[in-house]
Amino acid sequence: MKKLIFSTKPFAIDFALALLRVGSAGMMITHGWAKIADFTNKLGTFRDPLGVGPAVSLQLAIFSEFFCAILLLLGFMTRICLLPLGFTMFVAAFMVHADDPFASKEKALLFLLIFVVLSITGPGRLSLDAQINRKRY
């Protein structure tokens, strides 16, 4: 337990990255699932910040927040799936909630920060990416 709490050894770092990855992805999946479950009602009120139409904007948000978040949770194609997730959070914070108070954009900014950090660090050894890329002897 002492090693887990006070160590910056590789296992502690990999465990922290896995916790950050799985936790943020799990929370993001709930946002995507809410959009899937209420797709018809959301379609009429969903904003179109990119000018591609509300239906396409909603579908892109669902793709990112649900499907890419599942890949992030598994640690599979991590850096690739972080691109749409980060872009979605950037759009949410700086376009959709641009004129809103900070409290309205804080969640999107927090997710964006997490996704940027994970893009820099990678998923860690406790991920499918690491298992696929490990050297076989």
Can you give the pLDDT at residue 99? 92
Domain ranges of the chain: 16-128
How confident is the model at residue 31, as a pLDDT? 96
The answer to pTM > 0.85 is yes
Which token pair is 27?
């929370």
Position 11 scores a pLDDT of 84
Sequence-distant contacts of 125-132: CB under 8 A, at least 24 apart: 125/10, 125/14, 126/14, 126/15, 126/17, 126/18, 126/75, 127/17, 127/18, 127/21, 127/74, 127/75, 127/76, 127/78, 128/74, 128/75, 128/76, 129/75, 129/76, 129/77, 129/78, 130/75, 132/76
Residue 6: predicted pLDDT? 67
State residue 4's pLDDT score.
59
Ordered per-residue pLDDT tens for the chain, 137 residues:
666 566 667 888 899 999 999 999 999 999 999 999 999 999 989 999 999 999 999 999 999 999 999 999 999 999 999 999 999 999 999 999 999 999 999 999 999 999 999 999 999 999 999 999 886 54
